[in-house]
Amino acid sequence: MKNILVFSPHNDDLEIAMGGTALKYIKEGYNIIKIIFSVGELSNPHLKESYITKEREKQALEAEKKFGFHKTIFLKLTDAKLKHEIELVREDIEDLIKEYNPEKIFIPSFKDIHPNHRAVTKLMKDIMKNKNIATYGYEVWSLTDENLPKIYVDITPYFKKKIAMIKIFNPTEWLSVYLQYIPIYIRAIRFGRKIKVKYAERFYRIR
């Protein structure tokens, strides 16, 4: 089996950063395994955390079923404490890499400004340093380019589905999702111009 592991700090990071590429890989016969560190229960402070946790897990599983992800794995870290708790899942991550033996791994880019995303990247960078697995960085909240080899993926046939995928998360994370829509379109068009297509996603080759 051809497996790809995507390490997602929160529920919707995969969809926002690389939803089109994930759909392309699924079409090519890859299994996409999404590992979520925290469901982001603090995304709606006016609602009970228990309700948000339940709803966001349901949304992630809906995306899995509707768009063909192979599996969604919840590491169940606390959103507010993710960067402090993250070492607790190091062994779990090592076990997942052994179990799935992925051809590729995707993690947040090094220059992502979100502290939880940076915590995930720091841990994954350390875990991957002695592994010979192709590793790529994806962009969610990055503001500057990284000095790493860049790869552009044509997602034009999958862009509408990517947007539909992101909309699954609107009910409980409407503010951050809607704030992302304009950057998503701008990035997709800008990256598309790099390879002369309508829409593209960009990744950094880390390993």
Q: Give the DSSP per-residue string, the chain.
A: --EEEEEESSTTHHHHHHHHHHHHHHHTTPEEEEEES---TTS-TTS-HHHHHHHHHHHHHHHHHHHT-SEEEE----GGGHHHHGGGGHHHHHHHHHHH--SEEEEE-TTB--HHHHHHHHHHHHHHTT---EEEEE-SSB-S--SS-EEEEE-GGGHHHHHHHHHTTHHHHHHHHHHHHHHHHHHHHHHHHHTTSS-EEEEEE--
Binning pLDDT at 50, 70 and 90, where does residue 183 land? confident
User: Per the structure block, which two tokens stand in for 98?
Assistant: 């052994």
Please, which residues bridge with residue 20 across strands? Answer: none
- CATH classification code of 3-205: 3.40.50.10320
Q: What is the pLDDT of residue 141?
A: 84
Average pLDDT over all residues of the chain: 90
* Model pTM score: 0.91
For the chain, what's the residue count?
207
Binning pLDDT at 50, 70 and 90, where does residue 53 land? confident
User: Per the structure block, which two tokens stand in for 7?
Assistant: 């390490």
172 contacts 42 by C-beta, under 8 angstroms: no
Q: How far apart are CA 56 and CA 171, in angstroms?
A: 9
183 contacts 146 by C-beta, under 8 angstroms: no
pLDDT for 40 beyond 80: no
